[in-house]
Amino acid sequence: MLDIKFIRDNLDQVKAGLAKKGFTFDDIEFKRLDEARKSSLTKAQALQAEKKKASKQIGALIGQGMSPEDAKAQVMGSIDADISDAEVAAKQAEQALHELLMSIPNVPRDDVPHGNDEEDNVEVAVWGEATQFDFAAKDHVDLGEPLGLSFDAGASVAGSRFVAMSGKMARLHRALAQFMLDTHSEEHGYEETYTPYLVNKEALEGTGQLPKFEEDLFKIPNAQGDKDLYLIPTAEVPVTNLLRDSITVADLPLKKVAHTPCFRSEAGSYGRDTRGMIRQHQFDKVELVQFVAAGQSDAALEELTGHAEAILQKLNLPYRKVILCGGDLGFSAAKTYDLEVWLPGQQKYREISSCSNFEDYQARRMGARWRNPETNKPELLHTLNGSGLAVGRTMVAVLENYQQADGSIIVPEVLRPYMAGLEVIEAAQ
């Protein structure tokens, strides 16, 4: 959520920044609600002062022999009712203003390029050469099905956009997740973290998925009559909310890594990437989250993105790094890098990680703060996260980049310790 004082003091800057995201900021409505809130509060405060003054008059009348009831009726009149009305009006204006603020995206950084969609994202780096073969490259669906990747089995159990894995494919999927966790926790300084896979509405509001993007979520009615819960769309939600409504005194940065399944309805993506594992309702991801002090998040974004890149480099998977344009930037993000891995089966780069700086936008929604030891005062944290990496898409990239003419798959060297030394995955004879 944006700072209301920042909006008031920088209205033109906010409007221009949000326009970069394709969002039209209704400054007239903002001013109306802001003024209604302030005037209602001012009226309520003035009436309270009037009531305090009237109380002294009541005492004087009682001292002159008037009954307490008559004295109160003469002096107070309708002041209590007027105070109640003013307080109700103030609360209503406050709620309306809060709902408006919750609907406003984060303002992009100045270095975020202009553009409408992913076609306008700007390439900033390329690593490795696009893999080419002297035979016709297959995609991961044709490669994986003989090896234990079954989309038919997934569909029979849960419907379209689900996959089942068995044998070496299941082992490879697990190996990738373990390799990522080990690398980030042992080499990059992240604390391995386990969180619930179900979260409440407040957690999703804190990171920005609600209220705007409810159709993208799987909602679970609570049979016990408590609040409904939601399947997590990413570990970003529960991990970031671990610091909700708190003031941490821990040294910054705080760096956490979590491996979780993720669940997305893929609303609005009808007809896109229906083949294979690129766009699934359920997929696994290793998520990186950092909490840093204001002023440190620019450097933290570069570091976090580098940690995600390290996984691709250790796997020797060609990729490119792009900065998202305003029109492709997420609701809560101020700046995002995407890493796109080369897929020979599609002959194109596809997104495998998004790494974002949210500055204090999520922290303000969550009430996540830290106590600055230099001032001993609480300050809002800056939050960042990124995929380190999406496990299923990394598996897709391994299958396609390490395929051989006979359909077997060379196991990348860094994964062999997690595969009991297996060097090649071949179909069962």
Residue 29 counted as an annotated binding residue: no
Question: Token pair for residue 249?
Answer: 């005194």
Task: State the residue for tokens 């990522």.
Answer: 180
Q: Beta strand pairing status for 368-372 and 246-248? A: parallel
* Burial group, residue 403, by CB count within 10 angstroms (0-12, 13-18, 19+): buried
What's the angle, vertex CA 424, arms to CA 423 and CA 428, rounded to 5? 135
Whole-number Å distance between alpha carbons of 172 and 292: 34
E-strand spans in 134-252? 149-150, 164-165, 191-192, 198-199, 219-220, 229-231, 246-248
Sheet order of strands, 122-127 included: 122-127, 319-323, 335-343, 348-357, 382-390, 282-292, 254-263, 191-192
Residue 397 counted as an annotated binding residue: no
Question: Token pair for residue 284?
Answer: 């696994």
Residue 235 counted as an annotated binding residue: yes
Read off the amino acid at residue 224.
Q
Task: Give the list of residues 6+ apart from residue 272 with CB closer than 8 angstroms, or none.
Answer: 279
Residue 320 counted as an annotated binding residue: no
Residue 351 counted as an annotated binding residue: yes
Residue 160 counted as an annotated binding residue: no
Identify the bridge partners of residue 263 per DSSP, sorted by sequence position: 282
Question: Token pair for residue 426?
Answer: 């071949």
**What are the backbone dihedrals phi and psi of residue 424, each rounded to the nearest 5 degrees, phi first?**
-140, 135
Identify the bridge partners of residue 322 per DSSP, sorted by sequence position: 123, 338
Residue 83 counted as an annotated binding residue: no
Whole-number Å distance between alpha carbons of 26 and 24: 6
Residue 4 counted as an annotated binding residue: no
**With contact defined as beta carbons under 8 Å apart, do 312 and 389 qualify?**
yes
Please state, as a whole number, how many other Cβ atoms lie within 10 Å of the Cβ of residue 275. Answer: 11
Helices 68-76 and 27-63: angle between axes, nearest 10 degrees: 150
Helices 79-102 and 27-63: angle between axes, nearest 10 degrees: 160
Whole-number Å distance between alpha carbons of 389 and 238: 17
Please state, as a whole number, how many other Cβ atoms lie within 10 Å of the Cβ of residue 302. Answer: 12
* Burial group, residue 178, by CB count within 10 angstroms (0-12, 13-18, 19+): middle
Residue 205 counted as an annotated binding residue: no
Residue 297 counted as an annotated binding residue: no
Annotated binding site for ATP: 264-266, 351-354
Annotated binding site: 234-236, 264-266, 287, 351-354, 387
Annotated binding site for L-serine: 234-236, 287, 387
